[in-house]
Amino acid sequence: MNYGMIPQEVIDEVLRRHEISDTVGKYVHLTKNGKYLKGLCPFHSEKTPSFTVTPEKQIFHCYGCGKGGNVIKFIMEMEGESFPEAVKTLAEEAGIPVTWSSASAEEPSPFQREKRNILEAHEYSAKLYHYLLQNLEIAKSAKEYLLARGLGDALIEQFGIGYAPPRWDTLAQALDRKGYDASEMETGGLLSKRQDAEGVVDRFRDRIMFPIQDAKGQTIAFAGRLLSDGQPKYLNSPETALFSKSRTLYRLHEARSAIRKTGQVVLFEGYMDVIKAWSAGVHNGVATMGTALTNEHAALLRRFADEVILCYDGDDAGQAAAHKSIPLLETAGFRVRVSVLPNRLDPDEYISGYGPEQFVREMIEGAVSAVKFQLIYLRKSHILLEEDGRIRYLRDAVRVVARRDSPMERELLLKELAQEFGVSLDTLKQESLEFRQREKLEGTRDIPAGSWNNVWNGNSLSSKNPPLGAAHVNAERQLLSWMMQDKDTALLVQQKLGDRFHVEDHAALAAYLYAYYAQNEDPDVGRFVTILQDDRLERVASVIAMIDIPFGERELEDCIRTIGRATLLKEGERLTEEQNRALREGDNARALQLGIEIIALEKQRKTL
């Protein structure tokens, strides 16, 4: 078997060289659970892990959204790549020579070609902007600005920082010389239409340029900081096929290993904050890009970390953003702590003023719990010098504490409030209890029955699969699971059942297994999945491969008998329907003959 002109031995070598748990582990924080590894699904938002990796069979499966397959399928889903593209990506990572003809790969669609051109243009533009910053006389003021902010040549180089000159067409002309189509470059966000004439101009002018990378480290967008007077101070690339602000975090690609290692991510508001924190030794920092934290951001980070430290600006806007982000992050399953920066400073200013060691010690290691921050934030909206203000603050504070899940945490926090304000602890406990009871009555009304992990998914398996539970359906699934693991079992089932599987997808998988073993292949679930080349069948195969019931000859015969009974029952139903039609048409002889056949079928079914 081969796919296009990709040799089968290359596909086999790719599967052999890439341990699925290692590959998935680059994207998902996995924990051991018996012989399985579990984590939060990277393909849909969830709070309870339903994503499972089985190293023994080299497959993954999510019980929430249904996605599943081998390591190639994972990269296809994760990176939005075709099968040949995913094989090429994995081959290059493993150092396997990519020697097959590129013409053999699937012909890219116009959209894919445009996307590839835009990506290449971004990579070229990043190099150009960086070169201009380091070599252009007109970029001297930009370089001086960065040096004054504490960014020396090493950081400029490491973060790929560049400069877009004030001219209207510096990048436009450079892209034109490289042969890029102007309309595609406008679609990709690098150029803009002229407002008063035909043609295009540079989108970014007189700005310090911060390249933004995707999960692969490829430049997909820019943020430009204006040097001269004017607005906006920061300008981001627009939303494109490559770039979405609500799903992209600055420097996540570079910070991912540190985040996974520590289980913790530090979330900043600005590019400069991330860079300065990196120079201070905080390598697990990322930033949103001029947009509020979204559920997509939280789901993305939850793959790698259990704890978030919010290190937002110390001004009112920054603290309000932190306060707003806490429930979103806690709903996603994070432990949340918050850095409380003094004197309305931002992290960049704090590091410059107090030094990197104090920043790490006080602002990162010394970050307060989410509830502590909420209580600190709440004080700002109450006048505590007045009795009425103190009462209102206490009432609001008790509500904040009452929402905490841990009884011990609630007890300690209520004790602190009771001591500070000279109020009875029992009174605060009663207030907390009443609030929790009210919220319990008002909550959990709008979640539909059967929703998975509080996430409503539209990715259920095809209706070609009947609801699970029917004895013959479970028997077919069990047979297929054993067939994937043992060639002799598959040959025995082929001899006794052939294609007489009742579920269409099961029949298709059986046919693929017969063909697979006919080529003298050894049992290998991960390899078998590569021959399916069908999303639905790959998902069904992954689910079935997860079944872990020990094989037994008696159990095998029971499954075959169950399927045989279902076949006879189905045939009996067909004959009964035909008999009824014969009676309606007055064909009594035909009806009598069909009745004899129905009785014979019923006797046969009972003897199985």
Over residues 355-372, the pLDDT tens digits come to: 999 999 999 999 999 999
Q: What is the CATH number of the domain that holds 188?
A: 3.90.980.10
Average pLDDT over residues 83-104: 78
- 284 and 228, same structural domain? no
With 80 as the cut, is the pLDDT of residue 328 above it?
yes
Q: How far apart are CA 595 and CA 579, in angstroms?
A: 7
Residues 328 and 226 in one domain: no
Residue 452 has pLDDT above 50, yes or no: no
| Domain membership flag for residue 606 | no
pLDDT band at 106 (very low <50, low <70, confident <90, very high): low
**Alpha helices for 159-309 (secondary structure H):** 170-177, 182-187, 252-262, 271-279, 295-302
Rounded to an integer, the average pLDDT of 202-211 is 97
Asked, for residue 464, whether it belongs to a domain, the answer is: no
Residue 4 predicted with pLDDT over 70: no
Cis-peptide into 232, omega within 30 deg: yes
Q: Is the pLDDT of residue 457 over 60?
A: no
Q: Tell me, what's the pLDDT at 443?
A: 54
Q: With CA atoms as reference, report the closest residue to 127 among 160, 95, 104.
A: 160
Q: Which of 213-217, 451-455, 528-532 has the weakest average pLDDT?
A: 451-455
Q: Give the pLDDT of residue 183.
A: 94
What per-residue confidence (pLDDT) applies to 468? 42
CATH number for the domain spanning 358: value is: 3.40.1360.10
- 236 falls in which pLDDT band (50, 70, 90)? very high
Percent share of the chain, pLDDT over 90: 39
Quickly state the pLDDT bin for 94 (edges 50, 70, 90).
confident
* pLDDT at position 592 over 90: no
What's the pTM?
0.64
Q: Are residues 351 and 387 in the same domain?
A: no
Q: Do residues 222 and 230 make contact, with C-beta atoms less than 8 angstroms apart?
A: no
* pLDDT of 461 above 50: no
Q: Same domain, yes or no, for 479 and 539?
A: yes
Q: What is the CATH number of the domain that holds 45?
A: 3.90.580.10
Are residues 115 and 193 both part of a single domain?
yes
3-class DSSP assignment, residue 308: strand
Residue 126 and residue 232 share a domain = yes
Shared domain check, 345 and 262: yes
Helical axes 170-177 vs 110-135, angle rounded to 10° = 120
Per mean pLDDT, which range of 250-254, 527-531, 590-594 is the poorest?
590-594
Task: Check whether 450 has a pLDDT greater than 60.
Answer: no
In this prediction, residue 80 has a pLDDT band, given cuts at 50, 70 and 90, of low
Question: Is residue 244 domain-resident?
Answer: no
Span 440-457, mean pLDDT?
A: 43
Q: Which residues contact 316 (CB under 8 A, 6 or more apart)?
A: 344
pLDDT above 70 (res 2): no
Does an H or E element contain 410, and which?
helix 407-421
Does residue 415 belong to any structural domain of this protein? yes
- For tokens 């003094």, name the residue: 342
Domain-located, residue 104: no
Domain boundary residue among 184, 204, 236?
236
pLDDT at 135: 95
187 and 277, same domain (yes or no): no
Under 8 Å between Cβ of 466 and 503: yes
Whether residue 455 is contained in a domain is answered as no
Pairing of strands 36-39, 307-310: unpaired
Q: What pLDDT does residue 453 have? A: 38
- The predicted pLDDT at position 243 comes to 92
- pLDDT (mean) for 219-224: 96
- Statement: residue 456 has pLDDT above 60: no
Per-residue pLDDT for 466 more than 80? Answer: no
> Which of 91-100, 159-168, 279-288, 310-319 bottoms out in mean pLDDT, i.e. has the lowest?
91-100
Q: Let me know if residue 311 belongs to a domain.
A: yes
In this structure, the answer to whether residues 506 and 546 fall within a common structural domain is yes
Q: Does the residue 376 lie in any domain?
A: no
| Residue 104, pLDDT score | 43
What would the pLDDT profile of 372-398 be if each residue is shown by its tens digit? 999 999 988 888 888 888 889 899 888
Strand partners, 3: 6
What are the Cα distances from residue 323, in Å, to 108, 376, 481?
A: 46, 10, 50
- Joined together, the tokens standing for residue 249 give 């975090």
For 467-475, the CB contacts below 8 A with 24+ separation are 470/566, 471/562, 471/566, 472/502, 472/562, 472/563, 472/565, 472/566, 473/502, 473/503, 473/506, 475/558, 475/559, 475/560, 475/562, 475/563
Count how many residues are written for the chain. Answer: 608
pLDDT band at 153 (very low <50, low <70, confident <90, very high): very high
Using DSSP, state whether 550 is helix, strand or coil.
Answer: coil
Average pLDDT of span 4-27: 86
pLDDT band at 605 (very low <50, low <70, confident <90, very high): low
Range of the domain at 26: 8-94
Last residue of a domain, one of 236, 268, 300: 236
Highest mean pLDDT among 165-174, 459-468, 471-480: 165-174
Residue of higher predicted confidence among 399 and 592: 399
User: Do 596 and 552 belong to one domain?
Assistant: yes
Confidence of residue 96 (pLDDT cuts 50, 70, 90): confident
Question: What is residue 210's predicted lDDT score, i.e. its pLDDT?
Answer: 97
Give the total number of structural domains in the chain. 5
User: What is the domain-level CATH number for residue 526?
Assistant: 1.10.860.10
Q: What is the pLDDT of residue 156?
A: 96
Higher per-residue pLDDT: 65 or 308: 308
Which carries the bigger pLDDT value, residue 452 or residue 167? 167
Q: Are residues 148 and 198 in the same domain?
A: yes
Residue with more model confidence, 558 or 211: 211
> Do 507 and 578 share a structural domain?
yes
Please give the average per-residue pLDDT across 166-171, as a whole number: 95
What is the average pLDDT value for the chain, to the nearest integer? 85
Q: What's the pLDDT score for residue 103?
A: 44
Residue 604: its pLDDT value, please? Answer: 64
Q: How confident is the model at residue 444 (pLDDT cuts 50, 70, 90)?
A: very low
Last residue of a domain, one of 45, 61, 94: 94
**Percentage of the chain exceeding pLDDT 70:** 92
Looking at residue 536, what is its pLDDT? 83
- pLDDT confidence bin for 459, thresholds 50/70/90: very low
| The pLDDT value given to residue 101 | 58
